[in-house]
Amino acid sequence: DTGVSQDPRHKITKRGQNVTFRCDPISEHNRLYWYRQTLGQGPEFLTYFQNEAQLEKSRLLSDRFSAERPKGSFSTLEIQRTEQGDSAMYLCASSDLGTIYNEQFFGPGTRLTVL
């Protein structure tokens, strides 16, 4: 068990470009979450999946954002037409619904900088 992994760790892009991030959860964790963290703030919830179903989306997730988890394993988060306000750390977490506490375990994050 290698923990939650995210790729890339850093992404620099120009305003208006599309970017895609990947998250690989802990093996056999059926829930996967995306959070966004801006500098000096705590993370804010974006969306979560149970297996391949996207069960909840935050109002922060504008139409330019889309997340998928096609086979109930890894997930991708795409941002279209990036804006400078999208610059943040994007964190992924996973949990096992079958455990008592359903504790969330976080990955190292993807740092996005939009120029």
Partner 1 sequence: KQEVTQIPAALSVPEGENLVLNCSFTDSAIYNLQWFRQDPGKGLTSLLLIQSSQREQTSGRLNASLDKSSGRSTLYIAASQPGDSATYLCAVRRENAGNMLTFGGGTRLMVKP
Interaction with partner 1 in 54-93: which residues (CB under 8 A)? 55-56, 58, 89, 91, 93
Contact flag: residue 94 with partner 1 (CB under 8 A): no
Minimal CA–CA distance to 79: which of 26, 37, 24, 21?
21
Position among 40, 70, 85, 98 found at the interface with partner 1 (CB under 8 A) = 40
Minimal CA–CA distance to 114: which of 91, 84, 90, 81?
84
Judged by CB under 8 A, the stretch of 20-28, 67-75, 79-87, 107-115 that binds partner 1 is 107-115
Contact flag: residue 107 with partner 1 (CB under 8 A): yes
Q: What is the CA radius of gyration of the chain?
A: 14
Q: Are 26 and 102 in contact (CB under 8 A)?
A: no
CB-nearer residue toward partner 1: 81 or 97: 97
Q: Are 4 and 22 in contact (CB under 8 A)?
A: no
Binding residues for partner 1, rule: CB under 8 A, are: 4, 6, 31, 33, 35, 40-45, 48, 55-56, 58, 89, 91, 93, 95, 101-109, 111
